[in-house]
Structures are given as structure tokens and as C-alpha cells.
Amino acid sequence: MTSTETSGTGGAARRLSPEQIRGARFTSGSMLHPGYDQSEVDRFRDLVAAEVGSLVGERDDLRRQVAELQQRLSGTAVPEPPSEQAVKILASAQQTADEYVAEAEDFSRQMTAEARDQYEEQLRLARENAGAIMQAAQEAAARLALPGGGDGDTTAGQRTTAELEEQVAFLKAFAQACRAQLRAYLEALLSDVETEWGRVDPALAPEALAAAQAGRRPGGTAAPQTAFHGNSAAGPAEVQAEEAERTATAGARATGG
């Protein structure tokens, strides 16, 4: 390869193009030096052309990527600080959300505490009653078992003891049933409270955030709309609270009756 047509003109600044390589001409050799095998040179030239072609393609790709990334970077490098208005809107949306959560929690707290107090009080009363009745029964049984009564009294005494035992058994069962019922009632109350909590979902937050974000754009018209979004996002919680209240009263009525 002694020369190419364009070798002198480009210099170091210009990169070799595939076309340049394809268009390369080789001077023929003398008789003594028959030169390069032409077909070999041709094959080599094609190889070089393909290689350089793919390199150029890759380079263009990379250049495009760099440009894209640079553009994206300059878009976020200096983020616009949020406007005063947007901050206020998000703050009030957050406050509203906080209030709803606090109300739900407080509601649940009161309800659970009341239900539990009731449960414990009833249980205490039931236990005290059962204890007193059992004690009375035992005393009565002891009195009857004392010798001194006639034969008829003994059978009467036995009957009374049996009755008393039966009564004691009944009372025990009654206390058990009371306990089970109270427990079921409390469970129902608690699960209402629970459902309420389960519905408060952090997934709602990004929506509210996105809504408030919209307020960042200049032009005040977006603001009232954003505020409206904030309110409507909080809406379902209110409905749920009411629902829970209704269920609770229904439950109370059921146990009362």
C-alpha cells in the first residue's frame, strides 16, 4: 500500500472514512517485485471498510446518548424551588390528611377503650355474682348436710343439694356464655376499627402530591382546582368513618336486645 488518493488532503484532523478506504488505489509493482496480490488487498480493504463503518455508527450512537443525558441533566441540575403557593397548598392538604388520620385514630381509641372497659366490668360482675352464688350454695349445702334433721329432711336436703349443684352448673355455663358473647361483641367493634385503619393507604399520598405539584406551574388558575383535588381525596375517609359509626351502633343494638 504505497499511497491513496486522499492521503495528503485530510491530514491528522480528518478521520479515515470507509469510502476512502474503498477508493484506495495501489501502484503496480515492477517485474522483479510483483507487488501485492490484488485479491488479498481487495479483501482486506472490505474488511477495513466494514470495521470503520461500524465504529462510526457506534460513535454516532454514543454522541447522541451523551447529548441526551446532558440535556436531561441540565433540566434537573437546577430544580426550580417550589413556589410559595404550591408549598401552602401541599401543607394544607397534608394537614387535612393528618386530621383525618388523627380523628380515625381517636375514634378507634375511644371505641376500643369503651368496649374493653365494658367487657372487663361485665366480666368482673359475672365473676362476682357467680362467686357469691356458689358460696351461698356451698353454705346452704353445708347446713343441710348437718345431722339433726329427720329422714324426710335428708331426702329434701339431697334434693336441694342436687338442685343447687344444678344451679351452680347453670350459672357457670351462663358466665361462660356471657364471656363468649362479650368477647364476640368486642371483636366486632375492634374489627370495625381495624377496617377503618386498613383503608388509610399511603398510596393515596402520591396522588395528592401530584395534585399539589400541578400548582407549581405559573398561572394561578391551577390553584383552586388543586385544592379541590386535595379535598376530594380526603372525602372517602369521612364516608368510612360514618360507615363505621353506623355499624357500631348496629352492633350495640344487637347486643342490647
Partner 1 sequence: MDIAAMRASFAKAAATGDEAPLYFYSHLFLSHPETRAMFPVSMAHQRDRFFHALGEVVSRVDDLDALVPILKQLGHDHRKFGTLPAHYPAVMPSLLATLEHFDDEWDEHRARTWTEAYELVAAVMIQGAEESADQPATWRAEVVAHERRAIDVAVLQVRPEVPVNYLPGQSMSLEIDRRPRLWRYYSPANAPRDDGTLELHVKARPGGPVSTALVRSTEVGDLMRLGPPLGELTLADDSDRDLLLVAGGMGLAPLKALVDQVARQGPARRVDLFVGARTEDHLYDRAAIAELQAAHPWLTVTCAVSDDALSGLEHGDIGDVVLRHGPWLSREVFVAGPVPMVEATVGGLLAHGVPRERVRSEVFAPSRPGPSAEGKVTE
Taking the complex as a whole, the smallest distance from the CB of residue 229 to partner 1 amounts, in Å, to 15
Q: Binding marks (x or -) toward partner 1, 172..211, rule CB under 8 A?
A: -----------x--xx--xx-xx--xx-xxx-xxx--xx-
Nearer to partner 1, 128 or 139 (CB): 128
Residue 134 touches partner 1, criterion: CB under 8 A: no
Pick 82 or 251: Cβ nearer partner 1: 82
Is residue 112 at the binding interface for partner 1, with CB under 8 A as the rule? Answer: yes
Binding region for partner 1 (CB under 8 A) out of 15-23, 44-52, 75-83, 137-145: 75-83
- Residue 240 binds to partner 1 (criterion: CB under 8 A): no
Strand partners, 147: 149
DSSP state of 100: H
**From the list 4, 6, 17, 94, which residue makes contact with partner 1 (rule: CB under 8 A)?**
94
* Binding flag, residue 81, partner 1 (CB under 8 A): yes
How far is C-alpha 214 from the chain's CA centre? Answer: 24
**Considering only CA atoms, which of 92, 89, 97 is closest in space to residue 223?**
89
Which grid coordinates are listed for 72? 436531561
Q: Distance of CA 57 to CAs 46, 63, 73, 134, Å? A: 17, 10, 24, 98
Give phi and psi for 233, each to the nearest 5: -65, -35
Rounded-to-integer distance, Cα 205 and Cα 237, Å: 13
Q: If binding is defined by CB under 8 A, does position 116 make contact with partner 1?
A: yes
| Number of residues lying near partner 1 (CB under 8 A) | 48
Q: Does 137 bind partner 1 (CB under 8 A)?
A: no
Instruction: Quickly count: other Cβ atoms within 10 Å of residue 229's Cβ.
Output: 19
Q: How far apart are CA 75 and CA 156, in angstroms?
A: 101
> Which of 106, 139, 153, 242 lies at the binding interface for partner 1 (CB under 8 A)?
106
Residue with cell 441533566: 73
Cβ(215)–Cβ(223) under 8 Å? yes
Check binding of 70 to partner 1 (CB under 8 A): no
Provide the 3-class DSSP secondary structure of residue 211.
Answer: helix
Question: Cα dihedral angle (6, 12, 14, 17), rounded to 10 degrees?
Answer: 60
Which stretch of DSSP H or E encloses residue 257? Answer: none
Sole residue written with cell 367487657: 119
Among residues 119, 160, 252, 255, which is the contact residue for partner 1, using CB under 8 A?
Answer: 119
Closest CB 254 distance from partner 1, rounded Å: 19
Contacts to partner 1 from residues 4-63, by CB under 8 A: none
Contact positions toward partner 1, by CB under 8 A? 79, 81-82, 86-88, 90-91, 94-95, 97-98, 101-102, 105-106, 108-110, 112-113, 116, 119-120, 123, 127-128, 131, 183, 186-187, 190-191, 193-194, 197-198, 200-202, 204-206, 209-210, 212-213, 216
